[in-house]
Structures are given as C-alpha cells and as structure tokens.
Amino acid sequence: MYTKNFNLNKLPFENVPDPAFYFNQGAYAQIRNRVKNSLIAGRGLIVVTGPIGSGKTTLSQMLISDYSDDLILVWLAEPPNSCTAFFSFILLELGLKTSSTERIFLLREIREVLLKRISAGKRCLIMIDEAQLMNKDLFEGIRILNNLEDGSTKLLQILLLGQLEILEILKRPEMIPFKQRISWMEVIGKLNADRIKKYISHRIKMAGGQPTIFTETGWEAIVLASGTAGGIPRVINTLCDRSLNAAFEKGKSAVDIDDIYEAAEDQGIAAELYHYRRMIKNKGKNPETGSIEEKSIAPLLPQVSMDADKKSDNSKQRITQTESPVNLKAERRLFLFSLGILALSIIFYLQRL
C-alpha cells in the first residue's frame, strides 16, 4: 500500500461515499445547502440528478448527517418493483407490521403512523437511490405519498437520487402531474479544470498528505486527463489512485506525468495526455524552446514578445520582434511542432467518429 510512501494517514481516493471526503465547495456546497434547506422547510418532493460517479450518494450521506436525531430515515438503495411493495416497506421501517396488500389500506396506515410520529416531534425522510430505475407504478405511488398532509404541513419528505436518464423520463407527457409536484430539482454537474485541482488537493489534505506528492507536470497531467474523462469525481479518484500506485511501485516519492499517463491508458483516457506528454519530453530535449505556463492543461502556442513603434502620423504601427536569432529559430521549431500536434489531434478525433 502506498500510504506510508507518500506520508498519508489513509487512502485518499477510495470510491466509497465517505462524508469525511465530501467536496463541500462550489456547486457541491450550493446544492447541499439548497437541498438541506428544502428538506428543513418541509417542501415535499426533491429530485437530485447527475452523471454516474458524480457524488450523488455521498451527497445523500452528508444530508443525513445534517439532520438531528429527530429524523426517521427510510432509505432504499434501489426502487422496489411495485407501489404496494414500496408502501409495505415504508410501514416496516416505521415500525408497523401489516398484513394488508391493498394500496388504499396501506396508505391509510402510513398516514396514521406518520401523524403519531409528528406529534412526538419526529420527521420522516424517504430517500430513494437509482431513481431512474423507477417504473410508472412507483412514480404514481410517490405522487400519492407526496399528497399526504396535515393542514399545510407535509407528513414526509421525499428525496430522489438518480442518473441523468430521469430527466428524460420526466419529459414524457404522462409525467406532467408528477413533475408539477417536484418542489426542487438539482443537477450535479462536472468539475472544471480549477475545481478538479481543488478536489484532488482536498482529498489529499483530508488523508493527511501534501500537494507535493504530485510534481508540477504531474498536476498538469492529472488535470488534463481528468478533464478528458469529463470531470467525474469517481473517474478522478480511480485515476489518482492508480497513478499513486504506479509511482509507488517504481519507488518514486512523487507522481509525475509518466505515472499518470500509465494510469490514464488503463482507463482509456490518455488520448490528449499522449500529445501533452510528447511535448513535455520534447521540451526536456530542447531547453531553449521556452517554458510552459504552470497552470496550463493543454499545449500552448509560443508567444512572441513584440514592441510597437508608432510612426509620426500615428496612422500605422510597426511591429518589431525583440527575440535573438537563436531564440527566434527555437520559437519557429516549437510553432511547427505545435502545428504537428494539432494535426495529430484532428486525425485522432476524426478516427473516433
């Protein structure tokens, strides 16, 4: 295990919904606060959706931890096959055994037990993961449950967590009655380049490590490869974990671009990183070609330093290059090399179509 090699207290990139590693920044913090406030306000039905591996389950764990002991949680890892099974499961979780199989009687019993719990100062939250798998019967059952009220107070809160397919389901004409009852809907997006770096740094910090476990080119490479993968936290975790392991097996004290490229190849996300790695290698062989901006995550074209001398009539400008002949030659070589990389990228993209 590489934890000792990189001075880590624990593995920083495990793909498990651990609230301790929750990235409570940016859109993730915003969505958490919005959903939490909606649940506290008792608004009823809330839907949270996002791509596979975007952190929906971890968000649900954070929301559970935000509640006090007065919360009765009914959590389903996946939807049941029928509305009747769903209602029966809720009653069991609320501590009531029933022999009825009729939906109307099950619903009456749910209402009665919820009223008793509320009078005792309790609140009930039903949380369903993988909501995109729900059938029409279950959607109808949730719509009916959402109608359970005592005056202006909702008797329970319902949180649906699902992949983006649920958005397509909700567009169907027959889903209009259900969609109208959704009090709040949130979409967890993908991390951009800046957030990717902060996300990785956050997990390293929570594991007791330092950002220096990645070299400068290692950081650039990990952000580039993660962006190629769509900025999905689960994919980023796997990439970082494999990169750390690759560096550990080679006896390195820090992860560099070669380790990340090796891990990215295993995941099939090394296409853009391949060209960037070649440019880095070429830069090492030709030091005079200039430096690469530290925060860059893509090859940059050379910037030529220029001075503009104004003519006396101020109608035109004459641009003069301040580079020496040797540097100018190097700039031209880098420019031609960049064009070559661009051509290879276009060819690779067209082959994938």
pLDDT tens profile 123-141? 899 999 999 999 999 999 9
Q: Which tokens sit at 247?
A: 């560096």
> What pLDDT score does 311 carry?
39
- Maximum CA pair distance of the chain? 98
> What pLDDT score does 297 carry?
36
In words, the CATH class of domain 42-187 is alpha beta
Domain ranges in the chain are 42-187, 304-353
Residue 193 pLDDT > 60: yes
Beta strands, E only, 163-238: 182-187
Q: Within a 10 A sphere around the Cβ of 155, how many other Cβ atoms?
A: 21
Pairing of strands 45-49, 317-321: unpaired
Q: Which long-range contacts (CB under 8 A, 24 or more apart) does 108-113 make?
A: 110/145, 110/148, 111/148, 111/155
Query: 0.75 exceeded by the pTM?
Result: no
Q: Which residue has the tokens 């995941």?
A: 267
pLDDT mean over 335-344: 68
